[in-house]
A and B are shown apart, each in its own frame.
Chain A
Amino acid sequence: MEKRLSDLRTGQGGIIKKLEAAGAAGERLEELGFTRGSFVEAAHRSLFGDIAAYSLCGEVFAVREETAEGIVVETGG
Chain B
Amino acid sequence: MKSGASRKIVFTAALAGNPNVGKSTVFNRLTGRSAHTGNWAGKTVVSAVGGFKRGNACFTVVDLPGAYSLRGKSADEAAAGGFIIRREADVIVAVADAGSLTRGVKFALEVASVYDPSEIILCVNLLDEARARGIETNLPKLSEMTGLTVIGASAANGEGIDELREAIARKCAEKERGGRERSLAATADPARIKKLCQTVRGKPDGLDRKIDKIILGVRGIPIMAALFGLILWITASGANLLSEGLTWVFAAALPAVRGLLEAAGAGADLTGFLCDGVLAVVCWVVSVMLPPMAIFFPLFTLLEDAGLLPRLAFNLDGVFKKAGAHGKQALTMCMGLGCNAAGVTACRIIDSGGERRKAVLTNVFTPCNGRFPLLTALTLIFFGGAARSVAAGFLAAAVSVGSTLLACKLISLASREKGASDFTLALPPYRRPRVLRAVAESARDKTARVLLRAVVAAAPAGALIWTLRRTGALDGFTAFLEPAGAAIGLDGVILAAFLLAFPANEIVLPVMLMCYSGAGVLREAPGLSELSDILRRGGWSAPTAACVMIFSICHFPCAATLATIFKETGSVKSTLLAAVLPTAFGAGLCAIVNFAARFV
Contacts and interface: CB of A to CB of B under 8 A. Distances in A.
Given A46-B315, A51-B317, A55-B205, A61 B424 contact: yes
Given A33-B102, A53-B427, A58-B99, A44 B420 contact: no
Interface stretch (B49-57, B118-126, B208-216, B540-548): B208-216
A48 B424 contact: no
A43 to B, nearest CB: 7
A44 B217 contact: yes
Given A47-B218, A51-B317, A64 B423 contact: yes
Contact of B216 (A27, A28, A53, A58): A53
A60 interface: yes
B318 A48 contact: yes
Given A47-B221, A57-B100, A62 B318 contact: no
B423 A62 contact: yes
B128 interface: no
A24 B204 contact: no
A60 B424 contact: no
A31 B104 CA distance: 10
Contacts of B420: 64, 66
Contacts of A27: 69, 71, 73
Contacts of A59: 99-100, 426
B209 A32 contact: no
Contacts of B318: 46-51
Contacts of A63: 423-424
Interface in B305-325: 310, 313-315, 317-319, 321
A61 B422 contact: no
A25 B421 CA distance: 9
Given A57-B102, A60-B205, A47 B315 contact: yes
B224 to A, nearest CB: 11
Interface in B175-202: 191, 194, 200
Interface residues of A, number: 31
A19 interface: no
Contacts of B200: 58
Contacts of A51: 314, 317-318, 327, 423
B546 to A, nearest CB: 31
A38 interface: yes
A57 B200 CA distance: 11
B238 interface: no
B317 A25 contact: no
B35 to A, nearest CB: 24
Contact of B425 (A24, A38, A47, A62): A62
Given A33-B102, A47-B221, A58-B99, A28 B321 contact: no
B65 to A, nearest CB: 15
A25 B314 CA distance: 17
A29 interface: yes
A8 interface: no
A50 B422 contact: no
Interface string A12-38: 000000000100110111011101001
A57 B106 CA distance: 14
B538 interface: no
A51 B314 CA distance: 7
Interface in B77-114: 99-100, 102-103, 106
Nearest to B130: A58
B382 to A, nearest CB: 34
A32 B103 contact: yes
A44 B100 contact: no
B220 interface: yes
A38 B473 CA distance: 72
Contacts of A64: 317, 321, 420, 422-424
Nearest to B310: A62
Most buried by A among B103, B213, B218, B422: B422
A47 B312 CA distance: 12
A32 B423 contact: no
A29 to B, nearest CB: 6
B506 interface: no
A33 B321 CA distance: 25
B351 interface: yes
B199 to A, nearest CB: 13
A47 B351 CA distance: 24
A19 to B, nearest CB: 13
Contacts of B217: 44, 47
Contacts of B204: 58
Given A44-B213, A62-B314, A24 B424 contact: no
A60 B103 contact: no
B81 to A, nearest CB: 12
Contacts of B315: 46-47
B466 interface: no
B103 A61 contact: no
A66 B422 CA distance: 7
B477 interface: no
Contact of B319 (A32, A48, A67): A48
Given A24-B351, A57-B100, A44 B216 contact: yes
Nearest to A50: B318
Contacts of A49: 318
14 contacts: A27-B69, A27-B73, A28-B422, A32-B68, A32-B103, A46-B317, A47-B218, A47-B221, A47-B318, A50-B317, A59-B426, A61-B424, A62-B314, A66-B422
Interface of A: 21, 24-25, 27-29, 31-33, 35, 38, 43-44, 46-51, 53, 55, 57-64, 66-67
Given A32-B426, A49-B318, A67-B422, 20 more contacts: A28-B351, A28-B424, A31-B69, A31-B72, A32-B68, A33-B100, A38-B191, A43-B212, A44-B216, A46-B318, A51-B318, A53-B427, A58-B133, A58-B135, A59-B99, A61-B424, A61-B426, A63-B423, A64-B321, A64-B420
